[in-house]
């Protein structure tokens, strides 16, 4: 069987291997969480019912806050890991590559922290 020259193979290094595994595992988790969110919020509750009051009512239960935190965290980490690979593939100068990765890390960390802050300090 002939392989394509541009196809990525399964990485052998420890960090890259774990990042590769995380992408696959988080994709499955995200797919399940997103389908549940879609079914519950948009079909079960109805699109017209989605409002600030519904979120306030939902977040009275800490389980929903944790669910939303996991959705936020897995989504950002999954996307940032994919973006890290794109940066690695397309940004050639090492200085720019490092700057792009640091910027991505700071953006990801900042938005996860801000999102967690909103989720846990929200008062109805």
pLDDT, residue 45, reads: 87
Q: What is the mean pLDDT of the chain?
A: 91
pLDDT tens per residue, range 60-114 = 999 999 999 999 999 999 999 999 999 999 999 999 999 999 999 999 999 999 9
Q: Is the pLDDT of residue 4 over 70?
A: no
**Please, what CATH class does the domain formed by 14-121 belong to?**
mainly alpha
CB atoms within 10 A of CB 46: 10
pLDDT average, residue stretch 47-65: 91
- SS3 (DSSP) at 6: coil
pLDDT, residue 9, reads: 64
Q: Please state the domain extents for the chain.
A: 14-121
- Please tell me the total number of residues recorded for the chain in this structure: 124
């Amino acid at each position: 069987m002939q392989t394509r020259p541009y196809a990525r193979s399964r990485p052998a290094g420890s960090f890259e291997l774990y990042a590769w595994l995380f992408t696959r595992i988080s994709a499955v988790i995200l797919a399940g969480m997103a389908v549940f969110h879609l079914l519950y919020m948009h079909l079960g509750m109805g699109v017209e019912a989605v409002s600030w009051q519904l979120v306030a009512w939902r977040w009275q239960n800490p389980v929903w806050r944790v669910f939303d935190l996991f959705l936020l965290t897995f989504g950002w980490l999954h996307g940032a890991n994919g973006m890290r690979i794109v940066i690695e593939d397309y940004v050639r100068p090492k200085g720019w590559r490092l700057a792009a990765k640091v910027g991505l890390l700071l953006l990801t960390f900042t938005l996860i922290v801000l999102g967690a802050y909103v989720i846990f300090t929200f008062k109805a």
